[in-house]
Structure 1
Amino acid sequence: MPIISIVLGVVMLLVLMMVCKLNAFLALILSSLVVGLLEGMAPQEVMNSIQSGLGSSLGSLTLVIIFGAALGKLLTDSGGAQRIAKTMVHVFGRKHVQFASVVTAIVVGIAMFFETGVVVLIPLVFSIAAVAGVPILYIGLPVIAALITMHGLVPPHPGPTAIVEIFNANIGLTLIYGVIIAIPAIIVAGPLYTKIFSKEFLEVDIPKGLYTEKEFDEEEMPSFLSSIVTATLPVILISIKSIVEIIAPNSSIRGFTDFIGSAGTALLLTFVFAMFSLGIMRGKKVQEVMNSFGEAVAGISLILLIIAGGGAFKQVLIDSGIDTYIAGLMENSSMSPILLVWIIAAILRISLGSATVAGMTAAGIVAPIAIATGTHPELMVLAAGAGSVGFSHVNDAGFWIVKEYFNLSVAKAFKTWTVLTSIIAVVGLIGVLIFDLFV
């Protein structure tokens, strides 16, 4: 039975990692193999599925993570991240630096995929925490809460945009409603949720190779303008692509903006720009810049493998037909369309790990019901998005990204990231239901 296979696979994964102390990548591959075999897949079929999952995860994220990590390392090695952090602390004060970080993440999250936003903002999180003298997760948890909420609820991210098409919703209204609903979800899951933890719990050790803990003198740091332009250039390039997609989809420049605004290209171009703005133009030799690049890549090599392993686990769940089985269980329900699409998306998210697959599958099932009942399509999009964001755990690549970048144990990742995404899902649903009373 598919549900039993999922439960056994997740339990096996946790036992291998937490009890047997196996490396996460190895544990993910072994668990993927067992789940596939339990679901009746032939051994070679399971291995093909694992390889497909490894390739698809690395194919979409390798450039983003490598050049994002290299950009972050160059920002920290040059003093650029420290300059931005000091300026933010000076302008907003230590008391409001968490708020400033959340606003920054919301703005970045509108344009950037979750994974891209994480690799771009993590060095700034480390720097802001160091300069403000606060625990890393005090800044980090609200930042990732903002990024994942915007990714799940707000177009032009792929999940919400695809669901907009399924429900034939107005993308502009969806964006406006999505931002309004996202803000309380971010506040509750981010700043408010961090208040329940002790200062000691919120402090973590920074993974080696991702950050340089050096206190720069004033004259050693680049200017704020140079630092902030370099740090936000990926956001600018991706935003240009998104704006052209929305207001001029048939424009002659669409090919160019699609190229420079894809996440991998944007980070590659930004790193090349950073080589000059933070390196060569400040007297550094190319070899020094390449040393930073090499250290960054070495620091995230295991992270890449673990993310790929999470992709393999997810792919086996999809290829074994578990998504179809779960969707079929809920198809004939007479529940409210908004609540139904949220529940289906949440169950698929828990079972499969992929927010995009969960949201789109749920939307496809409930779309005929929504049309028949006249439910606002924009609210259906947001309900599906909210359900697809929540309850992230070991079969989701995002779980492993957050765990590894913040150097968390599996247990601590559950207490922070998993609970945080669940809060977003529930608050998001409440927001949609409130909207449904007035629109």
Structure 2
Amino acid sequence: MSDSLILVNTTFAIVATVLLIIRFRVDPVIALLLGASYLGLTAGLGVAGTIEAITKGFGDLMAEIGFLVVFGVLAGSLLRRSGAIERLVETLLRRVGPARMPYALSISVATVLQSIFLDVLVVIIAPLARGLGLRIGRNGTARMVTAMAIGMEVGVVMVVPGIATLALAGVLGVPLGTMLLLGLVVAVPTTVISVAVMQFVFRRGWWDEEKDELPAASAAEPPAGDGGASGAPLAGDAGARSVTRATATATSSVEQTRLLLLFAPVLAALGLIATGAMLDIAEVRIAPLSFVCNPVVALFLGLIGTILVTRHAVGRSAMDEALRDGFRDSGQILVLNGVGGSLALTIKNIGLGDILGQYFSANTAAPLLMVWLIAAILHVAVGSVSISAMTAAGILAPLAPVIGLDPVWIALAAGAGSLFAIHVTSNTFWLLQSLTGLSTRGTLKTFSGGVSVASVVAIAVIIPLSMVLG
């Protein structure tokens, strides 16, 4: 079959898949399977080859990320049930202060909270972000919601164990330790720079509370100072004030200890994965350490630890309910990511990489920009970060060996592109709006605007890094 016909069929399959999802409201799983089937049958794989690509693509990706997704979602559900998320936000506010709170929240959401299923994370963090916005000054709601959105979306496509991150690593065969280390190298500066840009924009007047926020009952303002509360110690009662300060300090210390214990298993698991990556780079082989640093084993150990601390914190009944919720959420994630793997392997098997490789030089900027652009276009149409990132990565993944490009950069570029122009086709968009009290216009400014800035910043960080690190 001619190269031009393969390109035409591939384009048609992708466009048709997008139209099925958007125009005809076909479930993404069915649309992706139809697209993969059409492409395999029309691009020369035949019946047997097409079925093999679909089933093997699904199975290979499940073997790569199945346990990781389940363990991550379960750990996130347990953390939600234990109240660890709310405690983390309150601790950050006390420790870093209002001015630096947007940065602290966005980095926390992008990194340590990525074990939580995205929609669950929105439900937990969005109301807290709105509440914190009322406490940090002018345009506080806009600044906090934007910071939360940037951290949440950057983390889900770049930071292990973000769901889309695991899927991208699986599709492209990127070692999870490598994805963890380089993902953090890209995600942290991307998040900080993007939040800084949006903070600047909002401070310069790109926010109108009357038009961008929905009318709501006024929230109670925090007290201006330490004194004046009903029942507070009298000004001259130095002994009472001393006891109050000592009690507050002791309470704060206990809360911080509890918070650390709740997050300790997940943080330890991520530490083991990072250790394994560094051992691989140093070519050090220690069998027992290699076993516990394996991502599946590390996250499993982290899940066991999270189960134990959650049971101690909230009891067995609440823990069991959290596990049931986690198993329910993980099922739909696994199926959707699996069929994304089917389409990716079909694209690989038809030889698209060799065809596209003729149009690129060894310069890594052009293919990475192409990955970013394809993912951005797909996301604008489809409205799904995971689907657009995985499809873009699958299309250009075969280019990696042709031009000598490490697949991790393709994964990160696809993730960056999939963040561009999140808008009304995204269910997360409406969920965020309903939980933050913003108008559609306000949600477009905070969520769509902020995450689009992060998309552009990310590719600007990725391209020079790929040239330096190879």
Range of TM-score over shorter length? 0.5 to 0.7
Counterpart Cα distance in 1 of 2:348 and 2:389: 7
Match of 2:38 among 34, 38, 51: 34
Code of the residue aligned with 1:324 in structure 2: it is: D
Counterpart Cα distance in 2 of 1:416 and 1:34: 36
3-state SS of 2:100 partner: helix
Change (3 A) 1:9 1:89: farther
Counterpart Cα distance in 1 of 2:207 and 2:35: 32
Q: Is the 8 A contact 1:2 1:322 kept in 2?
A: yes
The match for 2:333 is 303
CA-CA distance at 1:260 after TM superposition: 2.5
The match for 2:296 is 264
Counterpart Cα distance in 2 of 1:302 and 1:314: 19
Counterpart Cα distance in 2 of 1:236 and 1:147: 19
Counterpart Cα distance in 2 of 1:347 and 1:20: 24
CA-CA distance at 1:84 after TM superposition: 1.6
The match for 1:207 is none
| Alignment coverage as a number of residue pairs | 372
Greater Cα offset, 99-108 or 340-349: 340-349
Counterpart Cα distance in 1 of 2:288 and 2:430: 38
3-state SS of 2:44 partner: coil
Counterpart Cα distance in 1 of 2:57 and 2:455: 25
The match for 1:326 is 356
The match for 2:365 is 339
For residues 300-351 of structure 1, the C-alpha deviation after alignment (integer angstroms, 9 at most, x for no partner) is: 3222211212121212111111122111232xx4xx8353564576589789
- 2:89 is the counterpart of 1:85: yes
> Which protein shows a greater Rg?
2
- 2:433 is the counterpart of 1:428: no
1:34-433 paired onto structure 2 within 5 Å: 34-93=38-97, 95-104=99-108, 117=114, 119=116, 126-133=123-130, 138-146=147-155, 148-149=157-158, 179=185, 184-189=189-194, 192=197, 223-243=255-275, 245-246=277-278, 249=282, 251=284, 254-279=286-311, 281-282=312-313, 284-285=315-316, 287-330=317-360, 333=361, 337-340=363-366, 342-343=368-369, 353=390, 362=399, 364-367=401-404, 387=413, 389-392=415-418, 419=452, 422-424=455-457, 426-428=459-461, 431=464
Counterpart Cα distance in 1 of 2:466 and 2:392: 21
CA-CA distance at 1:49 after TM superposition: 0.8
For residues 34-58 of structure 1, the C-alpha deviation after alignment (integer angstroms, 9 at most, x for no partner) is: 1222212212321211111211222
Change (3 A) 1:407 1:264: farther
Change (3 A) 1:303 1:345: closer
Counterpart Cα distance in 1 of 2:10 and 2:431: 24
Structure 2 segments unaligned to the other structure (5+ residues): 131-140, 163-167, 215-250, 379-387, 433-442
Structure 1 segments unaligned to the other structure (5+ residues): 109-115, 165-170, 204-218, 368-376
- 2:26 is the counterpart of 1:22: yes
Counterpart Cα distance in 2 of 1:72 and 1:178: 19
The match for 2:6 is 2
CA-CA distance at 1:98 after TM superposition: 2.7
Change (3 A) 1:136 1:43: farther
Counterpart Cα distance in 1 of 2:402 and 2:213: 40
Counterpart Cα distance in 2 of 1:432 and 1:327: 22
Code of the residue aligned with 1:119 in structure 2: it is: I
Change (3 A) 1:62 1:190: farther
Q: Is the 8 A contact 1:318 1:352 kept in 2?
A: no
Q: Is the 8 A contact 2:150 2:451 kept in 1?
A: no
Q: Is the 8 A contact 1:102 1:142 kept in 2?
A: yes
RMSD: 5.0
Percent identity, aligned pairs only, is: 15
CA-CA distance at 1:362 after TM superposition: 4.6
Greater Cα offset, 122-131 or 348-357: 348-357
Counterpart Cα distance in 2 of 1:291 and 1:105: 24
Counterpart Cα distance in 2 of 1:416 and 1:27: 29
Code of the residue aligned with 2:307 in structure 1: it is: M
Change (3 A) 1:390 1:81: closer
For residues 372-413 of structure 1, the C-alpha deviation after alignment (integer angstroms, 9 at most, x for no partner) is: xxxxx9xx999767645443399xxxx9xx96777879xx99
For residues 40-84 of structure 1, the C-alpha deviation after alignment (integer angstroms, 9 at most, x for no partner) is: 221232121111121122222222222222222222222222222
